[in-house]
Amino acid sequence: MDLSGSNNIPKKQLAVISDVERAFNFFKEGKTTAFRKLFLKCLKKSKKFEFQSVNNHLKIKGFIEKLENNKAEDWTGSFGQKAYTILKIYSVIKNYFAGYDCLIDFSWEEKVLEFAPQILASKDKAEFLELLAKLVSSLEENHTFISYSKEFEKEQNLGYFPLDVKIIAGRFVVTKVLSESLQEKLYPGLEIVKIGKRKPLDIYDEFKDKSFLSKAEKRGKYKAYLALKGDLDEEVEIFFYDKLKDLELTYTLRREIRTNNSKDLYEYRSLEDNILYFNFKSFGNIDYEKITTPFEEELAKHNLNDIKGMIIDLRENQGGTSMTGDKIISHLTENPARHWHQSDAKKLKKLGIPSFLYFIFSIVCFFKKKINISYSISPAEKNIFTKKVMVLISGKTGSGAEEFAVTIKENKIGSLIGEFTSGGTGGPAFYMLPDYSSLRVCLNLGVYQDGSLWHDRGVEPDIEIKDTIESTLTGRDLVLEKAVNLIEES
């Protein structure tokens, strides 16, 4: 058996990997029953890998430190490397994925059995990693996925057309033109009819099964930008349609590598009738103060008694650290606010928590599988706004931004306006894979205070408002208009 590149494999696992090879030989010989029986035994024998978490009051605040058997390794393509990776992914998902018992509506063992022969027979690194991505994406949870190395990302040579798109009335509609040179030709509201000879839905479907989409994101096709993905630098003829003018347009565009512009993470402006508008396009990470400090400075400039209402726009915010949202909330309530999430009690017990908490969770594990965890957000010392607050949400709103929206909703601080959110959050754990890729695993679930899940389903708005093709073409923001009207009526 070829074990090259398998220095990270514990000796106890070598016998299991040898059995995997025997099982694979059964498969190649057409002995499917023998393959299933032996491979299932291998899965049961696979080592339960452990994470060393960075933990502070049950709130994951950093990346998982690498253990001796969790080091990055070069790609060799050996049978041993492939087999060990399958066993690792199977075990990590089974033992640490927070949604294992409540989000998966199929047998994980059967799913691994389905993919294992293809993964073991993969001809090269690209096929190997793509199959791993498809296997993990079958969980339909947007915080659990295969993260490729930067080198492999470059090797794929994939990019996106410089447009933002959204599904409106079942059509792929341009919402923003990202290239200044194209803004004279293209504009929001145009429907994308064809990309080359293909319908945008066909391209979307091609990439969705390799991407980390929650069930809510798949239902709403919230990540419509996948339809813009393809070979980098390839020039493609795109066919557009303007519904109001009944006009067909055709332009040749080239795909590009997208980069995030950190300067555009925060926007403030004052609207009519003393309404403050804050647009948080991300909640950042360890640099969250770059977002919260300007917010606090802006509040300090105003006599908040004269302000009629506040609008917080999270429609482009795909998440970030919850510390950003907590800091903002501290300026929106005079009373402590509760922030909730849910974890699997047995999984929490494995995460290296303090000894006294380990004892508590040992008892919890005996009586129940799930445990709801909350912490208090204390009011700020000054500049607290207590009037009407409207939070705008969409299918792009995710992760830490969703937690913020739920905390606003559950503590009756404000109202949510817009569309269902993407339905995913959770402090991540990371496990290294060949080629310096990694498996990211969700450790926590998003819940309301009564314990019901919004995770995987999305946070429901208090008032649902959807864009139309006509409003996008004419530049009207129906969601923002509704928020302003509700504040003015109060």
pLDDT digit string, tens, across residues 406-428? 999 999 999 999 999 998 887 77
According to the model, what pLDDT value does residue 213 have? Answer: 83
Q: Are strands 388-393 and 309-313 parallel, antiparallel or unpaired?
A: parallel
pLDDT for residue 84 is more than 80: yes
Q: What percent of the chain has pLDDT over 90?
A: 53
Q: Helix (H, G, I), strand (E, B), or coil: what is residue 380? A: coil
**Architecture of the domain defined by 161-254:** Roll (2.30)
Model confidence at 456: pLDDT above 90: no
Rounded to whole angstroms, the Cα distance separating 43 from 106 reads 17
* Per-residue CA distances from 450 to 1, 282, 334, 344, 484 (Å): 53, 28, 23, 16, 31
Contacts 24+ apart (CB under 8 A), 160-163: 160/225, 160/228, 160/229, 160/255, 160/256, 160/258, 161/195, 161/228, 161/236, 161/238, 161/253, 161/254, 161/255, 161/256, 162/253, 162/256, 163/228, 163/253
Determine what percent of the chain is predicted with pLDDT higher than 70.
Answer: 84
Answer whether 324's CB lies under 8 Å from 290's CB.
no
| Token pair of 133 as six digits | 């991505």
Contacts with 86 (C-beta within 8 Å, 6 or more apart), sequence order: 20, 112, 115, 116, 119, 120
Higher pLDDT, 306 or 372: 306
The larger pLDDT score, comparing residue 107 to residue 273, is at 107
pLDDT, tens only, 328-355? 999 999 999 988 766 554 454 444 444 4
Most confident of 7-16, 42-51, 324-333: 324-333
Please report which helix (H) or strand (E) contains residue 322, including its range.
helix 322-329
| pLDDT greater than 60 at residue 160 | yes
Query: What is the reported pLDDT for 285?
Result: 80
- Quote the pLDDT of residue 60: 33
Within 10 angstroms of residue 56's Cβ, the number of other Cβ atoms is 9
Residue 466, number of CB atoms within 10 A of its CB: 12
Task: Provide the 8-state DSSP code for 162.
Answer: S
Token pair for 361: 């969770």
Q: How many CB atoms lie within 10 A of CB 16?
A: 20
pLDDT score at 4: 52
- For 141, other C-beta atoms within 10 Å of its C-beta total 28
> Mind listing the pLDDT tens digit for each residue in 438-449?
888 888 888 888
Domain segments of the chain as ranges: 11-142, 161-254, 262-489
| DSSP-assigned states of every residue in 10-31 | -HHHHHHHHHHHHHHHHHHTT-
Question: 372-398 burial, b if ≥16 CB within 10 A, otherwise e?
Answer: eebeebebbeebebeebbbbbbbbbbb
Looking at domain 262-489, does it have CATH number 2.40.50.60? no
Half-sphere exposure (Cβ direction) of 259: Cα atoms closer than 13 Å:
4
Q: What is the pTM of this model?
A: 0.86
Q: Which tokens hold the place of 331?
A: 């300026």
